[in-house]
């Protein structure tokens, strides 16, 4: 009977302890802050260096030509004939914000001009060539 009396005298604690939830939230925030810059996708290319005026940042279509001559639209890998056949459809709605061409510094000039010619034939008039800024001596 003494047990029952002790339980009746204790009040229930109905509060939620949020300190541990805040700790978890801050840990996740730190993880996302560290990994977000690494998650910038794209194909790894060595961009040519040029002293060019930076463009306004837009969310256009990104076309990349790597050193081997493979073409990437976003992250989708294609050959030049596949690019010719499908670029008009790919650029349909996204080309209005512009198309950014990222060409590796070691890719032959002829491949880049073929890619630009396909873009122009598809009706894309706003093509930005992406470069790295030159370092001052």
Number of domains comprising the chain: 2
Q: What pLDDT digit, counting tens, does each position of 25-45 carry?
A: 999 999 988 888 776 666 667
Q: What pLDDT digit, counting tens, does each position of 113-131 carry?
A: 899 999 888 888 778 888 7
Which of helix, strand or coil describes residue 133? Answer: strand
Residue 98 lies in a domain: yes
Residue 63 lies in a domain: yes
For residues 95 and 127, membership in a common domain is answered with yes
> Pseudo-torsion of CA 19, 23, 29, 32, nearest 10°?
-150
Q: What pLDDT digit, counting tens, does each position of 78-106 carry?
A: 998 998 888 888 877 766 677 888 888 88
Range of the domain at 17: 2-38
User: Is the CB of residue 90 less than 8 Å from the CB of residue 101?
Assistant: no
pTM of the prediction? 0.61
pLDDT computed for residue 5 by the predictor: 58
């Amino acid at each position: 009977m003494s047990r029952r009396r002790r339980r009746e005298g204790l009040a229930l604690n109905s509060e939620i302890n949020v300190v541990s939830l805040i700790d978890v939230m801050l840990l996740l925030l730190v993880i996302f802050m560290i990994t977000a810059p690494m998650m910038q996708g794209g194909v790894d290319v060595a961009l040519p260096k040029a002293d060019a005026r930076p463009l306004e940042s837009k969310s256009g279509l990104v076309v990349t030509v790597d050193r081997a001559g493979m073409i990437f639209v976003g992250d989708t890998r294609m050959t030049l004939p596949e690019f010719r056949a499908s670029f008009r459809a790919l650029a349909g709605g996204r080309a209005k914000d512009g198309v950014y061409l990222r060409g590796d510094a070691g890719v032959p000039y002829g491949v880049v001009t073929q890619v630009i010619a396909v873009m122009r034939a598809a009706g894309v008039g706003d093509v930005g060539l992406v470069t790295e800024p030159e370092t001052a001596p």
